[in-house]
Structure 1
Amino acid sequence: MSHSSYELKAEARERVGKGSSRELRRNGLIPAVIYGDKQAPIAISLNSNEVTKRIHAGGFMTTVATIEVNGEKISVLPKDYQLDPVRDFTMHVDFLRVSADSKVTVEVPVHFINEDKSAIKIGGVLNVVRHEVELHCPANNIPEFITVDLTGAKIGDSLHISHVKLPAGVTPVITDRDFTIATIVAPAGGLAEEGEAEA
């Protein structure tokens, strides 16, 4: 289900701060930080193109990566990144150090299937309330997406998190209610009745 892992080579950064970040970027590198797992954060620099390519490939935030720093291989999950809004390159990434038994919190995209077996086929409109759902997952079992099956859904139906078969060990962050992921609503103009003259 999940994207295959990948490896990034990194250099440890001695200097941190605005000036050194600018210098890194001039050299095609970006500053990043690895934190978590009750250890001191490590400031690193990464190849900017490689990271930007990974982000555009999709699944960046749900794929555990291995970062090699000074010969040490560290398993990480990206937690946050900043893109330069103008020039579309990565400015900074935060990585969370994970181990096989780490639990992580990830926003996972929702995919909808079997729209043609639901009221959408007769003109109903899928109103997506949540395009992503926040889940607690084992670091080594993060779903790339979750799937909502629309088979048999009628106008006025709500599809809740309980409709979704989540992988083993994966639980929603919101547990106090069966929250709605999407609803199927009548189109703005109403459904055409059988045999009704077209206006």
Structure 2
Amino acid sequence: MSQASYELKAEAREQVGKGSARAVRRDGKVPAVIYGDKQPPLAIALSYKEIYYKIHGGGFLTTVATIDVGGKKIQVLPKDYQLDPVKDFPIHVDFLRVGKDTEVNVNVPVHFINEEKAPGIKRGGTLNIVRHEVEFHCPANAIPEFITVDLAGAEIGDSIHISAVKLPAGVKPVIADRDFTIATIAGTAAAKSESEEEAAAAPTEEAEGE
């Protein structure tokens, strides 16, 4: 499941626009907007320090948070953020209100296990990761922190598709029209040469037996 939820304190902003946003930043805060759930957008200002560490701490876009706006607590999921192109600090954040039936599309990281149990890798093959993240449609309150791909038994030339991954209930790939590849086991020149030698030797051994 997604990482533990957290709470942020915010102030409501009466004014919006570029001038208001610049004023918020001058005060050492980050302008943000909460939208969705069939309610009007709510402009807020957040602590720069808190948002900076949440964004750079990992899992920001897949973790549901609670924002306390003047005592009113709103459950949200961060949907997007902007960083200064030069200094890399946050300059704006968009949040989506999360209701009990809210479903979202999110990019979830892929983790790989049991590389040591993959014969193809033991023989010199290389894990070629096609997708480091996969986009899923799922309930906002049940976002996986990551999905796990088991490499046990994988041989050189094998492809691991999304159908081979066990997904939590309610979690579905956004790409639904094909069984897309997540990773492959690619052979090195040495490993390929070894395989070719084994294949070439097999008929010879049979002929000798005859």
Is the shorter-chain TM-score for this pair beyond 0.5, marking a shared fold? Answer: yes
**What is the match of residue 57 of structure 1?**
57
**Percent identity of equivalent pairs:** 71
Give the counterpart letter for 1:134 in structure 2: E
Matched, 1:96 2:96: yes
Q: After the TM superposition, which residues 34-183 of structure 1 pair with which residues of structure 2 at under 5 Å, given as runs? A: 34-118=34-118, 119-183=120-184
Task: Point out the structure with max Rg over C-alpha.
Answer: 2
Report the count of equivalent residues.
194
Partner SS for 1:140: helix
Partner SS for 2:22: helix
Letter in structure 1 aligned against 2:137: H
Separation in 1, partners of 2:46, 2:75: 15
| TM superposition outliers: structure 1 runs of 4+ over 3 Å | none
Alignment partner of 1:15 is 2:15: yes
Query: 1:130-153: per-residue Cα shift (whole Å, max 9, x none)?
Result: 111010111111101101001111
Report Cα offsets for 1:31-82 as digits up to 9, x if no partner.
Answer: 1111111111111111111011011111111100001112211110001111
Determine the structure 2 residue equivalent to 1:184.
185
Partner Cα separation in structure 2 for residue 20 and residue 121 of structure 1: 59
User: Aligned partners of 2:152 and 2:127: how far apart in 1?
Assistant: 13
2:34 and 2:187 mapped to 1: Cα distance?
48
Tell me, in whole angstroms, the C-alpha distance in 1 between the residues paired with 2:148 and 2:83. Answer: 28
SS in 2 for 1:193: helix
State the partner residue of 1:193. Answer: 194
1:3 partner SS: coil
Question: Given the two structures, how large is their TM-score scaled by the length of structure 1?
Answer: 0.93
- Compute the TM-score of the two structures, normalised by the length of structure 2: 0.88
Q: CA deviation at 1:193?
A: 2.9
Richer in helix (by share): 2
- Secondary structure (helix, strand or coil) at the match of 2:66 reads strand
Query: Take 2:101 and 2:84, find their aligned partners in 1: how far apart are those partners?
Result: 34
Q: Hey, what's the Cα distance between the residues in 2 that align with 1:105 and 1:18?
A: 29
Q: Distance in 2 between matches of 1:74 and 1:166?
A: 29
Secondary structure in structure 1 of the residue aligned to 2:194: coil
Structure 2 unaligned runs (5+)? 198-210
CA shift for structure 1 position 121: 2.2
Equivalent residue letter for 1:56? H
